[in-house]
Structure 1
Amino acid sequence: MDQLQAIKSFARVVEAGSFTRAADSLDVPKATLSKQVQDLEAYLGIRLLHRTTRRVTVTAEGQQYYEKTLRILADLDDIDSSFSAVRNSPRGKLRVDVGGSTASEVLIPALPAFIAKYPEIKLELGVSDRAVDLISDNVDCVIRGGPLDSSSLVARAIGQASMVTCATPGYLKQYGVPAYPNELRNGHRLVSYVTTQNGRAMPFRFTEKGELLDIKAEHLIGVNESNAHFAAGLAGLGIIQTFRYSAKAALASGALVEILSPWRPPSYPFHVVYPQNRHVTRRLRVFIDWLVSDFPSRLD
Structure 2
Amino acid sequence: METLANLESFVRSAEAGSFSAAARRLSLTPAAVSRNVAMLEGHLGVRLFQRSTRKLTLTEAGERFLHAIKGNLEELQAAIADIAADDGEPAGVLKVSMSPTFGIQYIVPLLPAFLERYPRIRVDWHFENRQVDLIAEGYDAAIGGGIELSPGVVSRVLAPAHIIAVASPAYMKGRTRPADPEGLADFDGIVMRSARTGRVRQWVMRNVAGEEMPARPAETIVLNDPAAMCRAAVLGLGVTLIAVPDALSYLESGALVRLVPRWYADAGPISLYCANRTLMPSKTRVFIDYVVDAFRREHLAERFAGSLGT
| TM-score, scaled to structure 1 | 0.84
Native 8 Å contact 1:191 1:233 kept in 2 = yes
Native 8 Å contact 2:182 2:215 kept in 1 = no
- For 1:158, the aligned partner's letter is L
Native 8 Å contact 1:131 1:197 kept in 2 = no
- For 1:135, the aligned partner's letter is I
Please give the secondary structure, in 2, of the residue aligned with 1:211.
coil
Once residues 98 and 163 of structure 1 are traced to their aligned partners in structure 2, the CA distance between those partners, rounded to angstroms, is 19
Native 8 Å contact 2:154 2:276 kept in 1 = yes
Cα shift at 1:51: 1.8
Please give the secondary structure, in 2, of the residue aligned with 1:61.
helix
Q: Report what 1:7 is aligned to.
A: 7
Q: Report what 1:62 is aligned to.
A: 62
Native 8 Å contact 1:98 1:142 kept in 2 = yes
Distance 1:155 1:189, change over 3 A: same
Q: Report what 1:130 is aligned to.
A: 130
Which digits, 9 at most, give the CA deviation of each residue in 1:137-178, with x for residues without a partner? 2223221225x6546332211223565421123322376532
Native 8 Å contact 1:128 1:225 kept in 2 = no
Count of matched residue positions in the alignment of Structure 1 and Structure 2: 298
Q: Would you say 1:206 and 2:189 are equivalent positions?
A: no
Unaligned regions of 5+ residues in structure 2, if any? 304-310
- For 1:194, the aligned partner's letter is R
Which digits, 9 at most, give the CA deviation of each residue in 1:237-283, with x for residues without a partner? 32112233332332344332222223355585211123447963332
Once residues 174 and 210 of structure 2 are traced to their aligned partners in structure 1, the CA distance between those partners, rounded to angstroms, is 31
Cα shift at 1:220: 2.4
Once residues 122 and 179 of structure 1 are traced to their aligned partners in structure 2, the CA distance between those partners, rounded to angstroms, is 51
Please give the secondary structure, in 2, of the residue aligned with 1:261.
coil
- For 1:213, the aligned partner's letter is E
Distance 1:136 1:80, change over 3 A: closer
Distance 1:27 1:45, change over 3 A: same
Q: Report what 2:306 is aligned to.
A: none
Q: Report what 1:227 is aligned to.
A: 227
Once residues 209 and 74 of structure 1 are traced to their aligned partners in structure 2, the CA distance between those partners, rounded to angstroms, is 44
Identity across matched positions, percent:
30
Cα shift at 1:108: 1.0
Q: Report what 2:195 is aligned to.
A: 196
Cα shift at 1:85: 7.8
Once residues 208 and 3 of structure 2 are traced to their aligned partners in structure 1, the CA distance between those partners, rounded to angstroms, is 64
Once residues 172 and 119 of structure 2 are traced to their aligned partners in structure 1, the CA distance between those partners, rounded to angstroms, is 48
- For 2:281, the aligned partner's letter is T
Q: Report what 2:26 is aligned to.
A: 26
Distance 1:20 1:222, change over 3 A: farther
Once residues 171 and 279 of structure 1 are traced to their aligned partners in structure 2, the CA distance between those partners, rounded to angstroms, is 54
Which digits, 9 at most, give the CA deviation of each residue in 1:203-222, with x for residues without a partner? 34433342152425252233
Native 8 Å contact 1:163 1:268 kept in 2 = no
Cα shift at 1:191: 1.9
Please give the secondary structure, in 2, of the residue aligned with 1:195.
coil
Cα shift at 1:100: 2.0
Native 8 Å contact 2:85 2:91 kept in 1 = no
Distance 1:190 1:289, change over 3 A: same
CA RMSD across the alignment: 3.0
Once residues 189 and 209 of structure 1 are traced to their aligned partners in structure 2, the CA distance between those partners, rounded to angstroms, is 26
Once residues 258 and 202 of structure 1 are traced to their aligned partners in structure 2, the CA distance between those partners, rounded to angstroms, is 19
Once residues 3 and 251 of structure 2 are traced to their aligned partners in structure 1, the CA distance between those partners, rounded to angstroms, is 59
Native 8 Å contact 1:272 1:288 kept in 2 = yes
Once residues 225 and 127 of structure 1 are traced to their aligned partners in structure 2, the CA distance between those partners, rounded to angstroms, is 13
Which aligned pairs between 1:222-261 and structure 2 lie closer than 5 A?
222-261=222-261
Cα shift at 1:31: 2.3
Is 160-169 or 33-42 further displaced after alignment? 160-169
- For 2:190, the aligned partner's letter is V
- For 2:65, the aligned partner's letter is Y
Is 77-86 or 27-36 further displaced after alignment? 77-86
- For 2:107, the aligned partner's letter is L
Once residues 211 and 278 of structure 2 are traced to their aligned partners in structure 1, the CA distance between those partners, rounded to angstroms, is 37
| TM-score, scaled to structure 2 | 0.81
Native 8 Å contact 1:100 1:226 kept in 2 = no
Once residues 211 and 101 of structure 2 are traced to their aligned partners in structure 1, the CA distance between those partners, rounded to angstroms, is 25
